[in-house]
A and B are shown apart, each in its own frame.
Chain A
């Protein structure tokens, strides 16, 4: 029987690998996700057949069935109800549950095993630390994105790094106690508490535009926690799957950091460079900002051959994606070419803008990556910036002293005319003014994103 179960685990592992491979191409993504789900089903059915589970008596089986049913109910409700604009929170929350489960499994195994091997106790410690950080880190990320208890901005306090380092040392010390004496389960739970505090403290300094990095990294952690739990149980399917997810999360993290030209350490410490040297808002804007109206923009759009829309987090906040689609259709029906310029870190998680625009039924062929669309701005008649700020700030190219110096940006300032839809001149996450707003070829349309697009649609129809 054990052989059959192990073969089933092997089949599940292969399905997971095919699943993740499938998820990396648009044409195979749906199938990839299904492979993953089937793999999970195979692994779960095989586990049910394990003598330890099937022979555990009606009571334990009842608890098991109840847990599965409750979890499935909550998971399905979340997945079917969640709005696409709330996807970053959703991903953070799911990550947290995965990490939390790993800790509990490792803790349970520590209690149940009479004479654990060193491999097992070390892995239990690793699982406790990584899982604790993942669970609480994800909950904090969820909260910050939802802006429930904590503000979305970074929270930093003096000595933060020292406190984190101390927590790390205490966790390792407690870990050493567990390894030396595996019956000391108190040390394990104390370690989980310390890791939890560390998870909270590590996530609060990350805010706003840095969230994509945090989400990708927590994703990686949840995989590593599962892998560590695999070492606890000497279970290969857990190890294989956990390391696949750990690796994929790390790659995404790396892509996000590169898109901001910042090191992972820099993002994690919440340290976006000193803005002290930057010019003040008055110096940059003083009397040079031109405000415009929907009617004026409609006239501009009327003769435009090529229009590029640059969405940012503001699009998600104002839920403007459906109006944007309507505007796109309207402009296309009048003979303009419309494309979207997507910055890799626009929004609050990797790929956030793509999901929103896809929800609004916008063909994904129109969503262009930064490197592909940047050379085309010079042939663009109108660039419409909708709720993006730092990712279109030309200071990144021109001012080496700026906190965003060297960050790859969308070169919208090269377009003939730039229309910026924004509620006010308030700075973006980097906290610096944006000279684009005062440029000669820029018009500012001060309004809520969705309202602005709706007004534009009406104005274009009348023009």
Chain B
């Protein structure tokens, strides 16, 4: 994809992001943060691609990146789930 196409995607996604959470209740500030944080671990797919490099140094970088990003992803989603499980409404 050319640069302008990519830039278009970027700008539109920023706007979607701002619109999505313009009205977020304080109750959910922490779960939103940890949940969106887990999503930002999407870098893991970049890391998976770089492990495949023939260059040893960049394979090593890729390995560390995979570990870091997976901690981010797994830790983020799990802790968010755990937290949300505590938000109960009783009648």
Kindly specify which of A158-166, A359-367, A379-387 makes contact with the partner chain.
A359-367
Q: Given A48-B48, A68-B70, does the pair A351, B36 have CB atoms closer than 8 Å?
A: no
* B30-A351 in contact (CB<8A): yes
Count of chain B residues near A, Cβ 8 A: 79
A-B contact count (CB 8 A): 376
Per the bound structure, the CA–CA distance linking A364 and B48 in Å amounts to 40
* A236-B6 in contact (CB<8A): yes
Per the bound structure, the CA–CA distance linking A101 and B59 in Å amounts to 13
Q: In the assembled complex, how far is the CB of residue A59 from the closest CB belonging to chain B, in whole angstroms?
A: 9
Count of chain A residues near B, Cβ 8 A: 112
* B40-A105 in contact (CB<8A): no
* B47-A105 in contact (CB<8A): yes
B-side contacts of A74, CB under 8 Å: 67, 70-71, 75
* B40-A351 in contact (CB<8A): no
The A-contacting residues of B in range 54-89, CB under 8 angstroms, are 55, 57-59, 61-89
Residue from B29, B47, B78 within 8 A of A351 (CB atoms): B29
* A235-B68 in contact (CB<8A): no
Kindly specify which of A248-256, A295-303, A312-320, A420-428 makes contact with the partner chain.
A248-256
The B-contacting residues of A in range 84-113, CB under 8 angstroms, are 84, 87, 90-91, 94-95, 97-98, 100-102, 104-105, 107-109, 111-112
Per the bound structure, the CA–CA distance linking A242 and B36 in Å amounts to 9
* B36-A238 in contact (CB<8A): no
Residue from A52, A67, A97 within 8 A of B72 (CB atoms): A97
The DSSP consensus for interface residues of chain A is helix
* B61-A249 in contact (CB<8A): no
Per the bound structure, the CA–CA distance linking A91 and B41 in Å amounts to 13
Residue A23 at the chain B interface, CB threshold 8 Å: yes
Q: Given A71-B70, A76-B75, does the pair A29, B33 have CB atoms closer than 8 Å?
A: no
Residue A33 at the chain B interface, CB threshold 8 Å: yes
Per the bound structure, the CA–CA distance linking A177 and B11 in Å amounts to 27
B-side contacts of A350, CB under 8 Å: 26, 29-30, 33
* A98-B17 in contact (CB<8A): no
* B69-A97 in contact (CB<8A): yes
Per the bound structure, the CA–CA distance linking A288 and B89 in Å amounts to 42
Per the bound structure, the CA–CA distance linking A97 and B73 in Å amounts to 10
* A245-B39 in contact (CB<8A): yes
* B53-A29 in contact (CB<8A): no
* A369-B26 in contact (CB<8A): yes
Give me the 8 closest cross-chain CB pairs, A-B, nearest first.
A71-B70, A247-B17, A351-B29, A67-B66, A75-B74, A75-B75, A350-B29, A56-B52
Q: What residues of chain B have their CB less than 8 Å away from a CB belonging to chain A?
A: 1, 3, 6, 9-10, 13-18, 20-53, 55, 57-59, 61-90
